[in-house]
Structure 1
Amino acid sequence: MQTRTIGIVMVIIGVIMMLYNSFNYITTEKIVDIGPIQINKEVNHPIVWSPIVGIVLATGGIVLILSKNKQLS
Structure 2
Amino acid sequence: MKPIINIVGIILIILGIATLAYRQFNYTETEKIAQIGEIQVTAKTEKTIDFPPVLGGLSLASGIVLLAIGNIKRKKK
Quickly name the TM-score band, shorter chain normalised: 0.7 to 0.9
Partner of 1:15: 17
The sequence identity of aligned pairs, in percent, is 33
Q: Which ranges in structure 1 are unaligned for 5 or more consecutive residues?
A: none
Q: How does 1:36-55 map to 2 (within 5 A)?
A: 37-55=39-57
| Mean CA deviation greater in 57-66 or 28-37 | 28-37
Shift of 1:36: 5.1
- Length, aligned pairs only: 73
Task: Establish whether residue 61 from structure 1 lines up as the match of residue 63 from structure 2.
Answer: yes
Q: Which ranges in structure 2 are unaligned for 5 or more consecutive residues?
A: none
Alpha-carbon distance in structure 1 between the residues aligned to 2:22 and 2:5: 26
Deviation beyond 4 Å, 4+ runs, structure 1: none
Shift of 1:21: 0.8
Shift of 1:51: 1.3
Give 2:35's aligned amino acid: D
TM-score, with normalisation over the residues of structure 1? 0.83
